């Protein structure tokens, strides 16, 4: 493999030199000022409302907006998908009125007792995740967005929906079918082939639901699915793109970090961060090391055969752009900086990232010219800025806002780009544009101004789902071991009579809620073996400890005001350490000139079904 990596690196460098025009990516001198960052934040807010108001006026209660024709369409299940997907963005923007109105409408009108066959993956990350995130915000005074009339309607809807998805997990491997009928279960003719990401990107939403309902079944089935995929990894610790859920045989053995596999890696680390389950961390470490060894051709990533590691495709696909952000969470900053610079050079060249960019010819991959408003590169830009405070990422964000405003803005929203070379618009707007794309842009510039939002200044640390939904690390969700001696703790069977105790427990909510987590979810070192020893494995939640106050349940202590000298500040209240600033790297990135197109590889993107690969069920709806 070392020889093939060297050969590819030499080929890539030679191809750039021969193209006659290459550039080196360095920190940009034309930095975004504080005032400009404030203006950009407000501009992104206006972008959200242009699209949201367009949906509500012209498409609601259908699933998604057609922003050119100002009409609506049902694309997933016919249950106001864009509204559900947008709920926590409304809360993040502090729009109490519309958040309240939307939650109340959904609680009264949404139902899943319908004869619809839906994608398990898409329904989980968009609808189930949207309902759970909004429930956790609307039910909690600490978020500042609690709705007085709210009575767990969204949580009840989420549980009902998840139970309708459970039949998909009834397979010999535990890996779920790709689709399920919400009324009748899995059709007898349903395809037995699913993507790795489709089967392994369900743990956060189902795990949170288990901890909110005290029913372990949801967490159990999704973890079994992950273990079922991991048990069938190759000897190189690589996983393929598509698998038979009955036999466990791989039907597509291309291993990569993008299409059909991407969020499998993402949820391994995030499930550990949110739930504290060390098994997820172990699998992530093993799979990450394999990916960096066999897939990383600095600064790009390629696809290889999962058994032999032979390079299959020299291709950057747009879904890979989440990877630098994941590396930030893992603490592997240096390669994240270099890879982001390379990916962003593709954006700069076309104004957007095409679905596929061929690294051998330095041209757009045939049949993969579109940009469906994807957020992955923007997400990584936000997380890298949060980790490094390097102004180059604000410059990148400014360029992204300009591209979206001038290239995709339509009369009623924002349009897909069907061809990034000619910026040809398509009459469709995915719900994730409001759930993720504008959310990460807004967070980027709000962070630069001086953050005043739920994520940066709220009562909890948050994990973003793969759909950008906010999942808080409350004690109810994230405590490692459930003992009544902890604030907000949950008891195992036999402990239900034990009262909650507070002696010997820090009154600092940060210690109660997050002292065993890495800072603000942005790490400065890759998880080590020593960290494994410092954490504990969570048990299944069996019941609520009696007598808990609201403050104890959510890890918040309400203390009387006392006069305290400044020097009496507790050690647990020390200022967090300053983020590590990563120096800029000189990285060779793509040129402004390219060669001819080459023969295309079928797109197996489980998140955007515009092009369908062999062996993949065509019923999978699009997503990011």
To the query of whether residue 482 is one of the catalytic residues in this protein, the response is no
To the query of whether residue 43 is one of the catalytic residues in this protein, the response is no
Phi then psi for residue 48, to 5 deg, are -60, -50
For the chain, what percent of residues have pLDDT higher than 70?
A: 72
Task: Please indicate if the annotation marks 466 as binding a ligand.
Answer: yes
Residue with the bigger pLDDT between 565 and 320: it is 320
Picking from 176, 147, 146, 149, the residue whose alpha carbon sits closest to that of residue 162 is 176
Residue among 85, 88, 262, 332 flagged as catalytic: 262
Give me the mean pLDDT over the 47-63 stretch: 98
389 dihedral zone (left: phi>0; alpha: psi -120 to 50; beta): left
CB contact burial 90-110 (16+ within 10 A = b; e otherwise): bbbbebeebbbebbeebbeeb
At residue 617, the pLDDT reads 36
CA distance 399 to 397: 5
CATH for the stretch 2-452+516-524+579-588 = 1.50.10.10
At residue 30, the pLDDT reads 66
Question: For the segment 362-399, what is each residue's pLDDT rounded down to a tens digit?
Answer: 999 999 999 999 999 999 999 999 999 999 999 999 99
Residue among 85, 88, 95, 122 flagged as catalytic: 122
Query: What SS3 state is found at 104?
Result: helix
To the query of whether residue 122 is one of the catalytic residues in this protein, the response is yes
State the pTM of this model.
0.78
Average pLDDT, the chain: 80
Residue 577 has pLDDT above 80, yes or no: no
Residue among 140, 266, 355, 611 flagged as catalytic: 355
Give me the mean pLDDT over the 545-558 stretch: 42
- Which one-letter DSSP state was computed for residue 257? S
At residue 78, the pLDDT reads 92
Q: What does the CA dihedral 381, 384, 386, 392 come to, rounded to 10 degrees?
A: -70
To the query of whether residue 262 is one of the catalytic residues in this protein, the response is yes
Minimum mean pLDDT range among 99-103, 222-226, 352-356, 486-490: 486-490
Dihedral angle sign, alpha carbons of residues 430, 431, 435, 441: positive
Residue among 95, 140, 332, 376 flagged as catalytic: 376
Positions of CATH 1.50.10.10 in the chain: 2-452+516-524+579-588
Residue with the bigger pLDDT between 209 and 27: it is 209
At residue 479, the pLDDT reads 82
Q: Which two tokens stand for residue 599?
A: 């023969």
At residue 605, the pLDDT reads 42
547 dihedral zone (left: phi>0; alpha: psi -120 to 50; beta): left
Question: For the segment 151-188, what is each residue's pLDDT rounded down to a tens digit?
Answer: 999 999 999 999 999 999 999 999 999 999 999 999 99
């Amino acid at each position: 493999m070392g020889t093939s990596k060297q050969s590819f690196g030499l080929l890539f460098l030679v191809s750039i030199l021969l193209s006659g025009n290459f550039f080196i990516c360095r920190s940009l001198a034309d930095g975004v000022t504080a005032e400009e960052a404030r203006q950009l934040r407000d501009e992104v807010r206006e972008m959200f409302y242009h699209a949201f108001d367009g949906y509500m006026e012209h498409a609601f209660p259908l699933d998604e907006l057609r922003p050119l024709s100002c009409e609506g369409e049902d694309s997933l299940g016919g249950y106001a998908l864009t509204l559900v997907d947008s709920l926590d963005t409304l809360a993040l923007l502090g729009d109490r009125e519309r958040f309240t109105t939307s939650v109340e409408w959904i609680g009264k009108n949404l139902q899943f007792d319908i004869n619809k066959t839906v994608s398990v993956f898409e329904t989980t990350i968009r609808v189930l995740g949207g309902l759970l995130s909004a429930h956790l915000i609307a039910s909690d005074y600490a978020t500042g967005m609690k709705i007085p009339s709210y009575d767990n309607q969204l949580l009840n809807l989420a549980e009902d929906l998840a139970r309708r998805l459970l039949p998909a997990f009834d397979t010999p491997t535990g890996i779920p079918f790709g689709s399920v009928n919400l009324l009748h279960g899995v059709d007898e003719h349903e395809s037995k082939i699913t993507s790795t990401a489709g089967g392994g990107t369900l743990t956060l939403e189902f795990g949170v639901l288990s901890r909110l309902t005290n029913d372990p079944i949801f967490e159990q089935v999704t973890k079994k699915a992950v273990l079922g995929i991991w048990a069938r990894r190759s000897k190189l610790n690589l996983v393929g793109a598509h698998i038979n859920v009955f036999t466990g045989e791989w039907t597509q053995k291309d291993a990569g970090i993008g299409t059909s596999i991407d969020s499998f890696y993402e949820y391994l680390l995030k499930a550990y961060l949110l739930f504290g389950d060390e098994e997820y961390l172990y699998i992530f470490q093993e799979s990450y090391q394999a990916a960096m060894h066999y897939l990383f051709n600095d600064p790009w990533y390629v696809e290889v055969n999962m058994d032999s590691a032979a390079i299959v495709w020299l291709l950057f696909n747009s879904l890979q752009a989440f990877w630098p952000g994941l590396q930030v969470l893992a603490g592997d900053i240096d390669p994240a900086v270099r890879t982001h610079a390379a990916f962003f050079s593709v954006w700069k060249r076309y104004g957007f990232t095409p679905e596929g960019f061929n690294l051998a010819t330095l041209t757009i991959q045939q049949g993969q010219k579109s940009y469906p408003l994807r957020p992955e590169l923007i997400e990584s830009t936000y997380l890298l800025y949060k980790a490094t405070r390097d102004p180059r990422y604000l410059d990148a964000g400014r360029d992204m806002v300009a591209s979206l405003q001038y290239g995709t803005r339509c009369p009623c929203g924002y349009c897909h780009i069907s061809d990034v070379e000619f910026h040809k618009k398509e009459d469709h707007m995915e719900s994730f544009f409001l759930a993720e794309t504008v959310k990460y842009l807004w967070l980027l510039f709000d962070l630069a101004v001086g953050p005043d939002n739920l994520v940066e200044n709220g009562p909890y640390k948050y994990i973003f789902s793969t759909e950008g939904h906010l999942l808080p690390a409350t004690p109810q969700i994230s405590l490692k071991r459930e003992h009544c001696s902890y604030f907000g703790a949950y008891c195992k069977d036999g402990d239900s009579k034990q009262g909650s105790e507070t002696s010997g427990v820090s009154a600092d909510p940060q210690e109660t809620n997050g002292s065993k987590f890495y800072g603000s979810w942005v790490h400065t070192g890759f998880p080590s073996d020593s960290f494994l020893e410092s954490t504990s494995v969570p048990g299944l939640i069996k019941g609520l400890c009696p007598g808990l106050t609201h403050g104890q349940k959510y890890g918040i202590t309400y203390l009387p005001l006392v006069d305290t000298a400044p020097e009496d500040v507790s050690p647990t209240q020390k200022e967090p350490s300053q983020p590590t600033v990563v120096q800029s790297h000189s990285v060779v990135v793509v040129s402004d000139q390219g060669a001819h197109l080459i023969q295309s590889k079928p797109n197996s993107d489980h998140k955007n079904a515009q092009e369908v690969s062999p062996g993949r069920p065509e019923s999978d709806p699009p997503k990011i």
